[in-house]
Amino acid sequence: MRVLIVGGAGYIGSHVCKALAQRGDEPVVFDNLSRGHRHAVRWGPLFEGDIRQARDLDAVFTQYRPAAVMHFAANIEVGEGQREPLAFWDNNVAGVVSLLGAMKRAACEVLVFSSTCATYGTPQSLPLTEDEPQTPINVYGRTKLAVEQLLADIASAEAFRYAALRYFNASGASPDGEIGEEHDPETHLIPNALKAAAGRGGPMKLFGVDYDTSDGTCERDFIHVMDLANAHLAALDRLQDGAHSFVCNVGTGTGYSVKAVLDAVEAVTGLPVPYEIHDRRPGDPPRLYADVERSRDLLGFRPERSDLHSIVQDAWNFYKRIW
């Protein structure tokens, strides 16, 4: 099966490409390389284009005629979204409108969409189920929720089916160290903790140590990026088998604290993690972890590599190779 991977030169998209190729499918990457990396495109052709340009999209659909699309081309850094909301709405929402128009013109009717637990906002109860009210508290979450609503509207009116996967904390790297997380700037906990341990860039910033948790730091649900990639393949297969559109969480159902992550980094690297304590960031809930019942029921999904040690070890193996 040939699948168009929009944003396939980025972190999650490149791992999905690898997983597709490993099972014999052909990923075609569509990316403008503004945030992704040419060297991460290794398992199929790269078509350079902008998701907001109809001519670029029409050209890739005409040339490759994919059976389905997976979408990863979004601005994701929460602070940037608060500073530059117009850019986020332009890429994250207007870009999807443009993509959906091209899919309709090409009669391509299946989409797996990269959504986020940020659409829930501050949780009212835990674990977070898919029926939790969606009240996002930042621009990033609001743009992803807007796309979810757009997809539901289109699916109710046309021959179009989609899966919206609400990620929790994507982390880790390909176990062979071939690809990994390369954001610039990097805002995610595990790569920043590894950088601090390796002496690259100074102490890590730890935001808040007075939360109502076991050790005072936030707890989050970390999902290994290759497990996340496999969830995408399962969602694609379900849609290709004729299933109706659906949404589901993709996480582990287990929360790890920031300090637990730092302990894991020190255990894996054998190095201390220097950090500076800062005030809480506005809107950070103490705990955030998924109810995973729906992903098990719909996708048969069970993470295989999302224990904290494996996540940190795989990320460390990748960074040792590129640093």
Which residues are tagged catalytic? 140
CA separation, residue 156 to residues 87, 274, 319 (Å): 29, 52, 45
CA separation, residue 101 to residues 53, 69, 115, 165, 201 (Å): 11, 13, 19, 21, 43
- Please name which of 234, 231, 220 lies closest in space to residue 264, comparing C-alpha atoms: 220
> Is-contact 103 109, C-beta < 8 A?
yes
Strands 256-257 and 169-171: unpaired
Element (DSSP H or E) covering residue 228: helix 225-240
- Please name which of 294, 312, 275, 321 lies closest in space to residue 169, comparing C-alpha atoms: 312
Q: How many helices (H) and strands (E) does the chain have?
A: 11, 14
Q: Which residues pair with 318 in a beta bridge?
A: none
**Phi and psi of 113, rounded to 5°?**
-110, 135
- Please name which of 127, 73, 156, 47 lies closest in space to residue 288, comparing C-alpha atoms: 127
- Please name which of 65, 14, 41 lies closest in space to residue 170, comparing C-alpha atoms: 14
